[in-house]
């Protein structure tokens, strides 16, 4: 089943990040994720505690029990929205390093370099990589707003649609790195991913679940880049061999 196969590709990323020759390219994306994601979670928790204390002081004593209801609701909101939003921001910063990691994983899997660019050429390519992240951000934001509204106004259906959208965006976010390394247009990349929806949603669902788990989510980014590159090599690369 394609859905399960997509999940397997993500899991394969855990093995790839430990391979000799790849570990040093994992370090920088991992460090960025730990620094930004971990640090922001600490400040977010502190902000929530202060916010609840303020609200609790406004409530009459007979409504103090509402604090126990607000915490689980707040946690669900964080799991459903914060992780995805912050992942987009983190990947924007880490884009050049994620692209390099994806390139090295593809070399490891195929034995064939993508190009013969020198370090100076790679540095010149950074603005284009950041431009690609901006394209993804512009694609994400208006849809995220729409699905986030549905999340709150349509019980069950809204939650299901938000989860599906989040899985799709995780899939787009990480599979775009190997596509972009081959200079494949963003629209073409989306069309290719839509043609294999089982793979796409299976991979995105695996990222979604692991990103929602505190501390585990700190290593998700390099794992997902590696897993997505393996997915690219085995399913899409052959279509662009002549490109």
Contacts of 185-194 with C-beta under 8 Å, sequence gap 24+, read: 186/132, 186/135, 186/136, 186/139, 192/236, 192/239
Who's near 81: CB < 8 A, 6+ residues apart?
148, 151
What the block records as the tokens of 161 is 């649609």
Quote the CA–CA distance of 233 and 243 in Å, as a whole number: 14
**Inter-residue contact 173 to 136 (CB < 8 Å):** yes
CB burial of 90-127 (b: ≥16 within 10 Å; e: otherwise) equals bbebbbbbbbbbbbbbbebbeeeeeeeeeeeeeeebee
Quote the CA–CA distance of 140 and 168 in Å, as a whole number: 10
Q: What is the pTM of this model?
A: 0.80
Map residue 186 onto helix, strand or coil. Answer: helix
Quote the CA–CA distance of 190 and 210 in Å, as a whole number: 23
Quote the CA–CA distance of 196 and 29 in Å, as a whole number: 27
Q: What is each CA distance from 46 to 30, 52, 55, in whole angstroms?
A: 24, 10, 14
Quote the CA–CA distance of 49 and 51 in Å, as a whole number: 5
pLDDT of res. 243:
46
pLDDT of res. 91:
74
Instruction: Tell me how long the chain is.
Output: 243
The residue behind tokens 């431009």 is 131
pLDDT of res. 156:
81
Going 19 to 198 to 135 to 161, the CA torsion angle's sign is negative
Map residue 4 onto helix, strand or coil. Answer: helix
**Inter-residue contact 108 to 187 (CB < 8 Å):** no
For each of the chain's 243 residues, which pLDDT tens digit applies?
788 899 999 999 999 998 888 878 888 777 776 777 666 666 666 666 676 666 666 666 666 656 566 666 666 666 555 666 666 677 777 788 888 899 999 999 998 887 665 555 566 777 888 888 889 989 988 998 898 888 778 878 888 898 899 899 999 999 999 999 998 999 999 999 999 999 999 999 999 999 877 778 778 888 999 999 999 999 999 988 654
Map residue 117 onto helix, strand or coil. Answer: coil
pLDDT of res. 149:
87
């Amino acid at each position: 089943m394609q859905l399960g196969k997509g999940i397997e590709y993500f899991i394969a990323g855990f093995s790839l990040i430990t391979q000799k020759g790849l570990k040093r390219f994992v370090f920088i994306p991992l460090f960025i994720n730990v620094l930004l994601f971990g640090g922001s979670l600490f400040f977010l928790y502190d902000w929530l505690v202060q916010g609840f204390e303020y609200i609790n002081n406004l409530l009459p004593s007979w409504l103090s029990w509402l604090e126990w209801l607000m915490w689980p609701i707040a946690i669900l909101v964080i799991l459903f929205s914060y992780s995805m939003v912050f992942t987009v921001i983190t990947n924007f910063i880490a884009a050049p390093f994620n692209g390099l990691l994806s390139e090295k994983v593809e070399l490891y899997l195929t034995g064939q370099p993508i190009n013969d660019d020198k370090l100076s050429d790679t540095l010149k390519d950074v603005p284009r990589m950041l431009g690609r992240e901006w394209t993804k951000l512009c694609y994400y934001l208006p849809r995220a707003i729409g699905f986030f509204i549905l999340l709150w106004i349509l019980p069950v259906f809204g939650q299901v649609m938000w989860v599906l959208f989040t899985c799709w965006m995780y899939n787009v976010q990480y599979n775009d790195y190997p596509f972009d390394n081959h200079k494949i247009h963003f629209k073409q990349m989306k069309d290719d991913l839509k043609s294999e929806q089982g793979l796409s949603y299976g991979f995105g669902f695996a990222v979604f679940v692991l990103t929602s788990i505190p501390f585990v989510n700190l290593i998700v980014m390099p794992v997902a880049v590696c897993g997505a590159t393996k997915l690219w090599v085995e399913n899409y690369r052959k279509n662009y061999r002549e490109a």
